[in-house]
Amino acid sequence: MSIFRYAAPSAFYPLAGRMIPWFAAIAAASILIGLYWGFFQTPAQLGGTNPQKEYYRIIFVHVPAAWMSMWLYLVLAVWSAVGLVFNTRLSFMMARAAAPTGAIFTFLALWTGAFWGRPSWGTYWDWDPRLTSELILFFLYIGYIALHSAIDDARRADRASALLAIVGLVMLPVIFWSINCPDPNQCAALHQRSDLSQMEPNIFWAMMIMTFGFWMYSFAAVFLRVRGIILSREADSAWVRGLVEGKA
């Protein structure tokens, strides 16, 4: 019963504020450990049938970033759905706060993918299905943010972009599938079908730690952003004015 009291922006604001330093610290630690593990504790090449050399280590940023980009879109869509169903302002604010972080991870995945592509495929961009899907995901994030910014009325902005996010979520599998499998007669992918269970344990764990670190970063970044959104949206309310006066 008491957890629902945090659905009010005024209660969530201080809670988020207290949690941010913890998330940030754990994020920094995890990412450092993950990078160290990835760069120093793993073999010099990917192993098995894969001939890739040292540069494969970019996988420790590329893959977790790609995962995060997809997870955060799901988070965005879920918060949007919650907001539409329960009509809670904070849900919409959380969705709006998650979008830029998701977009950043998508961008990161695209860049690291390009830099990985150069040595291994010989080109920065090869219209590889997975990377192309990431590009489309990037457009979906930008579309969400653009729609929200284009609407002046906060309520309409929230609800319109929420609907867009949900439509995007529904279409996402279709879009991904059509890019991955453009010929329904036979499906092929350029991306090596890397099976997680066949991966060398050190590599696997390094990726997991990086993913965890990125999750912690996401919490910190999103909470920080949502606090800013709460303050600007609730600027007229008594508690915000109290905060401002307290500081002034």
Binding site for another protein (CB under 8 A): 87, 136, 139-140, 142-143, 146-147, 150-156, 159-160, 163-164, 167-168, 171, 174-175, 177-179, 182-185, 235-236
Which CB atom, from 136 or from 208, has the smaller least distance to another protein?
Answer: 136
| d(C-alpha 226, C-alpha 236), whole Å | 17
Write down the least CB distance from residue 51 to another protein, Å: 31
Which CB atom, from 137 or from 216, has the smaller least distance to another protein?
Answer: 137
Write down the least CB distance from residue 15 to another protein, Å: 24
Write down the least CB distance from residue 19 to another protein, Å: 28
Which CB atom, from 184 or from 246, has the smaller least distance to another protein?
Answer: 184
Give the helix ranges, DSSP H, for 41-88: 59-86
Write down the least CB distance from residue 85 to another protein, Å: 12
Which CB atom, from 60 or from 141, has the smaller least distance to another protein?
Answer: 141
CB of 7 within 8 A of CB of 203?
Answer: no
Write down the least CB distance from residue 110 to another protein, Å: 15
Roughly what angle, to the nearest 10 degrees, separates helices 129-150 and 89-121?
150
* DSSP summary character for residue 124: S
Beta bridge partners of 113: none
Write down the least CB distance from residue 127 to another protein, Å: 12
Alpha carbon 208 to its chain's center = 15
Beta bridge partners of 50: 47
CB of 90 within 8 A of CB of 234?
Answer: no
| Kind plus residue range of the DSSP H or E element containing 89 | helix 89-121
Return all residues near 147 (Cβ < 8 A) that are at least 6 apart: 157, 160, 161, 164
Which CB atom, from 175 or from 224, has the smaller least distance to another protein?
Answer: 175
Which CB atom, from 45 or from 237, has the smaller least distance to another protein?
Answer: 237
Beta bridge partners of 47: 50
Helices vs strands, H then E, count in the chain: 7, 0
